[in-house]
Structure 1
């Protein structure tokens, strides 16, 4: 069986490693991240920015530490992402009136508009990236990944 990336005709994972689910998953995840970033490139954001915007759009204002915890990224990564979004006027930090030591991050109106534009592209991304799967296979994969992800669930 020959699996190719569609570029240069080379397999995403060499045949010698095709029995290694960890290698397959890692390479597919890397390819999906690149395709995601390419999908959002014309909006001048990456997939990581969309994740932050989406979390704020769904949850409303969040403390930076809570945003980092929900997205399961390092606090310095959140600071960098929020700095970038804030620099573009897409998000803003403000002091939490309940605890002045805490900064809340929230979407601006521009951030809400950009989130809506990015969300419109997600459907196309999903169709392109997972074109090899039927709708049932896509749902099965999503369910399996969701089940597997619980291995790393934390109480924090």
Structure 2
């Protein structure tokens, strides 16, 4: 006797969001690699340029753990794009300061990121694009605004072979 799969009542939102997010991240990684950056490096540069921020603040914005954040800032320092400096507001705190070259690279990387987003969204007519982005913003600020606590780490499913 074979088991019957349960009938799906809703669209597979988990697959849709996971798959599109993964593919978008791989496209972004490939595009930014052309100028020697990772998405994390781009994130740190752009957000450190907006205002004086500590590594902890930048890690929270970029959803990075402490180890990943340290490695990212180390790579930015090694490339001459950023440096750690004492905060002008609190001398006990250290902030990530973007160099002049880092600011130029951030400008280029933002154009790349915007281009990838524009390319992906170009398959939608303008009206649908506006609705899609509005709906995604509502989900991100509503039911998908915070992570649920889980006893086990959530991992990405194994990729299907083509």
Instruction: State the TM-score, normalizing by the size of structure 1.
Output: 0.77
Counterpart Cα distance in 2 of 1:127 and 1:96: 36
Q: Is the 8 A contact 2:40 2:62 kept in 1?
A: no
Q: Is the 8 A contact 2:52 2:87 kept in 1?
A: no
Q: Which has the larger radius of gyration?
A: 2
Give the number of equivalent residue pairs: 137
Shift in alpha-carbon separation, 1:132–1:51, aligned structure 2, 3 A: same
Counterpart Cα distance in 2 of 1:100 and 1:125: 39
Q: Is the 8 A contact 1:35 1:129 kept in 2?
A: no
1:50 lines up with 2:42 in the alignment? yes
Q: Which has the larger strand fraction?
A: 1
Q: Which has the larger helix fraction?
A: 1
Which residue in the other structure is 1:7 paired with?
none
1:87 lines up with 2:78 in the alignment? yes
Give matches, 1:17-36, under 5 Å: 19-36=11-28
Structure 1 segments unaligned to the other structure (5+ residues): 1-15
1:110 lines up with 2:101 in the alignment? yes
Counterpart Cα distance in 1 of 2:63 and 2:77: 20
Counterpart Cα distance in 2 of 1:119 and 1:52: 12
